[in-house]
Amino acid sequence: MTMSDPVVEDVVTTVSHSAPEIRRGLVGRRDAVDEENPSGETQVEADIWADELLADRLSSIDGVSQYASEEREAIIDCGRDAASTDGYTVAVDPLDGSSNLTSNNAMGTIIGVYDAPLPARGENLVAAAYVLYGPITTMLLATEDTVSEYELTDGNHRRIREDITLPDDPVVYGFGGRVPDWTDEFTEYARTIETELKRRYGGAMIGDVNQVLTYGGIFGYPGLESRPEGKLRLQFEGNPVGYIVEQAGGRSSNGEQSLLTVDPSDDIHERTPVFVGNESLIDRLEMQLS
């Protein structure tokens, strides 16, 4: 896992070495706690534990100036000078899909490394990765050069695929949100897609996106009638996953434009509709929603 920038390499290596420990630590931490994250979602013990572990390790890396997490309200300034904007910033979703702990289904960890203070545009990402806690613990890593997949075991990582691109012929789709809460425009699009592709939706974004990257297709969590801004967070989920898919030759979108070109608000926990997948499917989506 050699990269041109030693700070980025330290961040990615720290996540890859921490992932097996996080997986082991899920045991006994499945219960909900009497707290909510800044987005108003119920936390489980594992959410808080994984966030504290990653915050401690990533914020101690020389060259990382900020750490932000879906599980905490404020950004941690971790440079020697708290007012400094030098260095890379790291945005993390410590346990994507942690509600799946109850049913013991797949979940993941998402990380974005930005070369700009947070909140930042996705175009400022220099690397993004996600760990999938499936039958095998794997990490998909995207840099400016390539997209690669690694198998993770205690203290070790082994590259099993490199130069990953989306298959040309899409096979799967997965759409989130309650169907009665979908907009008419998105419902019409979804009804067309479900006649063409196989449905794969497991309640953890990373598991569903990994299906798309493996087989080709589209994942989406749209804006809803009750929540036009959608559910997923731009800094922690939309931008990093959008970056990974675009580096693999696909497209990302908020329904109008690439997620990577969206100007963020001052709210680190800003939500956005998220769509990622094969270019042709995203193009059709944007035409339908426009």
User: Which CATH number belongs to the domain containing residue 183 in this structure?
Assistant: 3.40.190.80
Instruction: Write out the two tokens for 238.
Output: 């939309």
Closest CA relative to residue 12, chosen from 121, 106, 90: 90
118 and 214 fall within a common domain: no
76 and 209 fall within a common domain: no
Known binding positions for substrate: 96-99, 201, 231
Residue 167's pLDDT is what? 97
**Within-domain flag for 267:** yes
pLDDT of 89 strictly over 60:
yes
181 and 137 fall within a common domain: no
Rounded to whole angstroms, how far apart are CA atoms 81 and 114? 18
Q: How many domains does the chain have?
A: 2
**Within-domain flag for 1:** no
23 and 107 fall within a common domain: yes
pLDDT of 40 strictly over 80:
no
239 and 273 fall within a common domain: yes
**Within-domain flag for 24:** yes
**Within-domain flag for 22:** yes
Domain boundary among 125, 141, 161: 161
87 and 205 fall within a common domain: no
**Within-domain flag for 93:** yes
221 and 154 fall within a common domain: no
Known binding positions for Mg(2+): 70, 93, 95-96, 237
157 and 201 fall within a common domain: no
Residue percentage of the chain with pLDDT more than 70: 96
Could you please report the per-residue DSSP string of 237-274? Answer: IIHHHHHHHHHTT-EEESSSS-GGGPPP-S-TT-B--E
143 and 189 fall within a common domain: no
> Using one digit for the tens of pLDDT, what is the confidence trace for 223-277?
999 999 999 999 999 999 999 999 999 999 999 999 999 999 999 999 999 999 9
Could you please report the per-residue DSSP string of 55-91? Answer: HHHHTTSTTEEEEEETT-SS-EE-SSSTT---SEEEE
- For the entire predicted model, the pTM comes to 0.95
3-class SS of residue 42: strand
17 and 100 fall within a common domain: yes
**Within-domain flag for 167:** no
Instruction: Write out the two tokens for 30.
Output: 């499945």
Domain boundary among 161, 180, 204: 161
Kindly state the average pLDDT of the residues 171-189: 97
**CATH number for the domain harbouring residue 99:** 3.30.540.10
Contact 231, 221 (CB under 8 A): yes
Kindly state the average pLDDT of the residues 61-89: 83
Residue with tokens 């087989």: 215
Residue 83's pLDDT is what? 45
Residue 82's pLDDT is what? 44
Q: What is the mean pLDDT of the chain?
A: 93
**Within-domain flag for 166:** no
**Within-domain flag for 156:** yes
Note down the domain range covering 30: 6-161
Domain boundary among 111, 134, 161: 161
19 and 116 fall within a common domain: yes
53 and 10 fall within a common domain: yes
Higher pLDDT among residues 225 and 82, named by residue: 225
Known binding positions: 70, 93, 95-99, 201, 231, 237
> Using one digit for the tens of pLDDT, what is the confidence trace for 211-238?
999 999 999 999 999 999 999 999 999 9
